[in-house]
Structure 1
Amino acid sequence: MRFMMFIYPAHHGETAEMTADQVEAMMKYNEELTRAGALLALDGLHSPADGVRVSFSGGRRSVVDGPFAEAKELIGGYWIIDVRSKEEAVEWASRCPAADGDMIEVRRMQEFADFPEEVQDVATLSQDPPEQTSAS
């Protein structure tokens, strides 16, 4: 099962950077995930000040540049892991060398098989190449 782990830094509004010790601890954690064969992807994210939000309403879109003052929790980065169970994903999240006040959210990623059969049928049809017609 694939899970995404989002990290919500406690101090997302500040420009404080990680110390060398914090980076070293996080690198060791990421190496453990890799050695265990669980890590599929990971990335840290830039400040929300550099972000953009695209909202949709009534068939129209609106674009708002960051920072987003109204946001209480902002994602600082993520890991995508492949493990046997939700409990194993939670165990990995619990081992993260996160800073005091940080939070990690663990969510299972949707698999094709999670959808009802009729949805799978429609999705499969849309992936089939169009029929070729030959000129005779």
Structure 2
Amino acid sequence: MRVMVLVKATEDSEKGFVPTAETMEMMEAMGRFNDELVNAGIMKDGDCDGLTPSSRGKRIAFDGPARTVIDGPFHHPSELVAGFWLWEVKDMDEAVAWVKRCPNPMPGPSEIEIRPLYELTDLK
């Protein structure tokens, strides 16, 4: 089963990365966790360093043939993604177990969301 694991953004992550003793320690812990994922054959892809704040991003809105470019920053950080992994796991329980082992990805409270990818067999 393939799952996308999404680290949700926070007000702090939207301010951009600030190298402090705490954030550098968090990055090192996350690096060790990423190594565990790779060594276990779980991680297939990911952004090992996290995504930049939405202020550096763009959205493209589609309406029929029209396309509109919207510059960041985007509102509601808790609805944004600050990082991601693509994992191959045997089931959702295994994905949950791995996320529970993950170091806290942000200073303070944070959330990680797990979403299964459609498999070709799901679409028939």
| Counterpart position of 1:114 | 122
Q: How has the CA–CA distance of structure 1 residues 72 and 102 changed in structure 2, closer, same or farther, with 3 Å as cutoff?
A: closer
| Counterpart position of 2:6 | 6
| Counterpart position of 2:30 | 26
CA contact (8 A) 2:8 2:78 kept: no
Deviations 1:59-95 (A, max 9, x none): 3121111111355421011011101000100111111
The answer to which structure, 1 or 2, has the higher relative contact order (CA under 8 A, 6+ apart) is 2
Structure 2 CA distance for aligned equivalents of residues 55 and 42 of structure 1? 25
The 5 A counterparts of 1:4-83 are 4-10=4-10, 11-17=12-18, 19-43=23-47, 44-69=50-75, 72-83=78-89
Per the TM alignment, residue 16 of structure 1 is displaced from its structure 2 partner at its CA by 4.0
| Percentage of pairs with the same residue | 36
Structure 1 CA distance for aligned equivalents of residues 100 and 76 of structure 2? 28
Structure 2 CA distance for aligned equivalents of residues 9 and 71 of structure 1? 5
Which letter maps to 1:114? D
Q: How has the CA–CA distance of structure 1 residues 72 and 85 changed in structure 2, closer, same or farther, with 3 Å as cutoff?
A: closer
Q: How has the CA–CA distance of structure 1 residues 9 and 69 changed in structure 2, closer, same or farther, with 3 Å as cutoff?
A: closer
Aligned-pair Cα RMSD in Å: 1.6
CA contact (8 A) 1:6 1:79 kept: yes
Question: Which 5+ residue runs of structure 2 have no aligned equivalent?
Answer: none
Question: Which 5+ residue runs of structure 1 have no aligned equivalent?
Answer: 117-136
CA contact (8 A) 1:54 1:62 kept: yes
